[in-house]
A and B are shown apart, each in its own frame.
Chain A
Amino acid sequence: MLFKRKEFLQLGSLATASFMVPKFLKSFERVDRVPPGNKVVVILQLSGGNDGLNTVIPIRNDIYYRERPVLGIAKTNALALTDDVGLHPALKSLRELYDDGSLGILNNVGYPNPDRSHFRSMDIWQTGSASTEYITTGWVGRYLDAQCHGCDKPTHALEIDDVLSLALKGENSKAIAMKDPKRLFGTSNEKFFRDVLKDHKSDGEETVDYLYKTMSETLSSANYIFDQSKLHPSVAEYPRTELGNGLKTIASLIFSDINTKVYYISLGSFDTHVNQQMQQQRLFTELSDAVRVFTADLKKNNRFNDVLMFTFSEFGRRVSQNASGGTDHGTANNMFLIGGALKQKGIINPIPDLNDLDEGDLKYKIDFKTVYATVLKNWLDADDTAILGRKYDHLGFC
């Protein structure tokens, strides 16, 4: 069947059709050149609830070793940052970044009345809502709404995945999800789809127009992203893992002139109810190896000062280990901040006080929304109050 043939049309065929489609559908290829010093955010989601206490380890805390006789990571194995704090042994590159002044650690990040369902707590983190509200847009999506008002390509935020996360869905704009610019270009450039799009003339049916608008944005974004990804592709040797491939794609786009400000990528699953040691070791090795190449790549290309990367997980885990060599769902957690232009470095606020727990769980000290507010305001120069729907304090890390 004709439709099946992948016809890689060259750019521009959409543009020639653009005078025939309604104005809002126009897929013009105008590109705002990125000014030097264009700041971007890379969000690394650690899905499944990463065990924060075995990530940033209180290596001189008796309670920690008492509650975790098997899982506790011995002081001698941890990568010591200070006399009291060490990193998980697999996080070698993060230790290097720490020494380099390019790593910040926020401790006890969470929110009031924490929820222990992965799905719900992830929704709360991704929407930036309180645990008592249900919001159907994500915080990056609402940033996109603000940035992409009336724009033709919602590429200000990109997710490296096949499926788009709630975090990147706005009210009017939704970000693009893709694993590989070339594949996105291929699948969205079926000639049939292009012809269907070209053929559409608005008849005032709002939902039909909405679908065509999404289709048009997808096709022109696919072209734009693919085009940009070829401008200055990264030549560094990344580990051949999903995260490695993803960060390589992100690096290539950061080196291009693309207008993307937020990149979103996930690693998981950190849901370590059983056999935590092996699983966390494996995932952290993947993380550490990929981040090492990524940060070196950015430095080599003089972009490390323009990038702020941060990690988060939907919750931390309980202080005590469970009976199956793992840990169960907990509450507050730490976040890593990585970048060449951090204003606060190292261990930014005190590690958890294990004497002051809430029924065996860590108490949160920093609301995660203040981290978002800080990134939006200080790094992306956006209206954080409007995007988050509330005024939050700003932290000092950027």
Chain B
Amino acid sequence: MLHEVSKTGAMLNFLNNNQNRKDHPNENFAREVMELFTMGRGHYTEQDVKEAARAFTGWGANAKGEFVFRRFQHDDGSKTVLGKAGHFDGDEVLEILLDQKQTAKFISQKIYRFFVNDSVDTQKADWLADRLYKSDYDIGKLMEDIFTSDWFYKEENIGCKIKSPVELLVGIQRMLPMTLQNEEALLLLQRLLGQILFYPPNVAGWPGGKTWIDSSTLMMRMRIPQLFNDRDEFNIKPKTDDDQMMGRNDDDIKTIGKKARSINAEIDWTKYLGYYNRVPLGELVNGIAGNLLQTKKAVSVGIIDEYSDDSDKESFIKTATIQIMSTPEYQLC
């Protein structure tokens, strides 16, 4: 995977490897492959970056995004990377990186953070790293190790992660199937919450975790269920994006903003209401909260009761669901 991703046009272009030539090495890719994708900062020297950059000279991509090796731009002299010396090419340097135990550690910690818990239990991550290294980086086995571990299902690892904006939006829509009259509204929400799919901020990706949350995004997140349900009005504007707009007026924002003043979602409640056919009225709030929330505790039944429409069972289920989705606890998974 490392070899293949390193040779994609996107990677080579983004990290300037097309400009990495024998006489003028560009260190961008060599640095990031170590910092972000294999070992992590602090486990290599500036000299390692310089030497590795020489090995990647000549690696480029053509206009179609296909990998090309430009032999005459390649520096085939001897290099010393992480204590090993030789006339390395790019693939050989990647092998040296994979030989480092630190790479298995770094990958395991990243995956642990994404799937298990933002605060990493080093003992468990080390155990995973050991096995990942021994399996010659079989990511499938790593995932199996995680999902079949008892600790994966422990209370402390459940409901401890903050949903990414996309996880939140998709989660609401999976729970409450809906038709949106203007689907662009979803893009506007992604922008406001700081995660546009296929458009990460930089090669390091979205930092995730607590960085999703600030005063504006938290309040926005808690209003979204209302927006879907109620046609509550938008009155906020995302920041402009100069990389995409190139100085043109951001018509996107204007038109989306206008059209999406109300999201106009038609929620199909039939299936959802069916889940609660046999749940007695008095147990509804706990039942709904139990289904929607991963945290140990939820907002008190009393508050949800107070803010829900109890004119009939159906209205109650609908309003209680929206209210529970509008709490901090619903931001977690």
A145 at interface by CB-CB < 8 Å: no
Q: Are A3 and B323 in contact (CB under 8 A)?
A: yes
Question: Once the chains bind, are A161 and B239 in contact (CB under 8 Å)?
Answer: yes
**Chain B residues, Cβ within 8 Å of A271:** 242, 245-247
A19 contacts chain B at the CB level, 8 A cutoff: no
In whole angstroms, how far apart are the Cα atoms of A274 and B249 in the complex?
Answer: 12
Q: Is the pair B204, A134 in contact by a Cβ cutoff of 8 Å?
A: yes
Please encode chain B, from 297 to 325, with 1 for each CB lying within 8 Å of some chain A CB and 0 for all others: 10110110011010000000001000100
- Within 8 Å of chain A (Cβ to Cβ): is B230? yes
B68-83 Cβ-contact flags toward A at 8 Å (1 or 0): 0000000000000000
- The verdict on B251 contacting chain A, using a C-beta distance below 8 Å, is no
- Among A118, A136, A211: residue with most chain B CB under 10 A: A211
Nearest-CB residue, chain B, relative to A177: B216
Closest-by-CB residue of B relative to A276 is B247
Q: Point out the residues of chain A lying under 8 angstroms from B303, CB to CB.
A: 192, 195-196, 199
Is B171 among interface residues, defined by CB-CB distance under 8 A?
no
Chain A residues bordering chain B, tally (CB within 8 A): 59
- A174-B240 in contact (CB<8A): no
Chain B residues contacting A60 (CB-CB under 8 Å) are none
A354 CB → nearest B CB, Å: 24
Residue of A205, A217, A266 near B215 (CB, 8 A) is A217
Given contacts A3-B226, A47-B242, is CB(A218)–CB(B332) below 8 Å?
no
Q: Are A3 and B326 in contact (CB under 8 A)?
A: yes
Q: Which residue of B lies closest to A204 (CB)?
A: B296
| Inter-subunit contact A123/B202 (CB<8 Å) | yes
Selected contact of A211 from candidates B207, B300, B331, CB within 8 Å:
B331
Q: Of B35, B295, B326, which contacts A205 at CB under 8 A?
A: B295
Any chain B CB within 8 A of the CB of A330? no
8 Å CB contact of B306 from A132, A136, A195, A270 = A195
Q: B197-233 vs A: 1/0 string, CB under 8 Å?
A: 0000111100100110111111100110010001010
Cα–Cα, bound, A257→B153 (Å)? 50
Contacts of B162 in A (CB 8 A): 207, 211
Q: Do the beta carbons of B323 and A208 come within 8 Å of each other?
A: no
Give the shortest distance, in Å, between A72 (CB) and chain B (any CB): 19
B239 partner, pick from A165, A174, A207, A215, beta carbons under 8 A: A165
Chain B residues, Cβ within 8 Å of A207:
118, 159-162, 210, 332
Size category, B interface: 35 or more
Give, as a whole number of angstroms, the nearest-CB distance from A64 to chain B.
22
Q: Which residues on B sit within 8 Å (CB–CB) of A205?
A: 159-160, 295-297
A218 touching B218, Cβ below 8 Å: yes
Contact A326 B247 (CB under 8 A): yes
- Chain A residue with the shortest CB-CB distance to B49: A132
Do A270 and B247 touch across chains, with their CB atoms under 8 A apart?
A: yes
Check A95 for interface membership: any CB of B closer than 8 A.
Answer: no
B203, B223, B327, B331, most chain A CB atoms within 10 A: B327
Interface residues of B (CB under 8 A from A): 31, 35-36, 118-119, 159-162, 192, 194, 201-204, 207, 210-211, 213-219, 222-223, 226, 230, 232, 235-243, 245-247, 250, 295-297, 299-300, 302-303, 306-307, 309, 319, 323, 326-329, 331-332
Could you say which residues of chain A place their CB within 8 Å of the CB of B192? 162-163
In the complex, chain A residues whose CB is within 8 Å of the CB of B215: 154, 164, 174, 176-177, 214, 217-218, 221
- Some 21 contacts from A to B, beta carbons below 8 A apart, are A1-B230, A2-B306, A119-B241, A132-B31, A134-B35, A134-B202, A162-B238, A163-B194, A174-B214, A176-B216, A177-B215, A203-B296, A205-B159, A207-B161, A207-B210, A208-B297, A211-B328, A218-B218, A268-B240, A273-B246, A279-B247
Cβ of A136 to closest chain B Cβ, rounded Å: 4
Inter-chain contacts of B327 with A (CB < 8 A): 196
Quick one: which of B213, B237, B300 contacts A162, CB cutoff 8 A? B237
- A187: interface (CB < 8 Å): yes
- Please give, as numbers and ranges, the residues of chain A lying within 8 Å of B306 by CB-CB distance: 2, 195
A192 touches B300 (CB 8 A): no
Query: Closest CB-CB distance, B27 to chain A, in whole Å?
Result: 8
Q: Mark A93-133, 1 if CB is under 8 A from B, else 0.
A: 00000000000000000000000011110010000000010
Residues of B within 8 A of A206 (CB): 119, 160
> A380 to B38, alpha carbons, bound, how many Å?
40
**Cβ-defined contact, A199 with B299, below 8 A:** yes
Q: Kindly list chain A residues whose C-beta atoms are within 8 Å of the C-beta of B328.
A: 196, 200, 208, 211-212, 215
Distance between A116 CB and nearest chain B CB, rounded to angstroms = 10
A208 and B222 alpha carbons, distance in the complex (Å): 14
* Chain A residue, CB-CB nearest to B327: A196
* B202 neighbours in A (Cβ, 8 Å): 119-120, 123, 134
A57 to chain B, nearest CB (A): 20
Residue A156, interface by CB 8 Å:
no
Q: Which chain A residues in 33-68 approach chain B with CB under 8 Å?
A: 47-49
Residues of A with C-beta under 8 A to B243: 117-119
Interface check A4, CB cutoff 8 A: yes
A47 close to B226 (CB less than 8 A): no
Q: Is A232 located at the chain interface by the 8 A CB criterion?
A: no
Nearest chain A CB to B20 CB, angstrom units: 14
Minimum CB distance partner of A3 in chain B? B307
Q: Which of B203, B214, B323 contacts A192 (CB 8 A)?
A: B323
Q: Is the CB of B226 within 8 A of A4?
A: yes
Distance between Cα atoms of A341 and B29 in the complex (Å): 46
- Is residue A333 within 8 Å, beta carbon to beta carbon, of the partner chain? no
A161 to B240, alpha carbons, bound, how many Å? 11
Please name all residues of chain B whose beta carbon is closer than 8 Å to the beta carbon of A397 when the two chains form the complex: none
Q: Give the one of A154, A196, A218, A271 with max B CB within 10 A.
A: A196
CA distance A214 to B212 in the complex (A): 12
In the complex, A154 Cα to B296 Cα: how many Å? 28
CB of B326, distance to nearest CB on chain A (Å):
7
Residues of A within 8 A of B213 (CB): 174, 210-211, 214
The complex places the Cα of A2 from the Cα of B328 at a distance, in Å, of 19
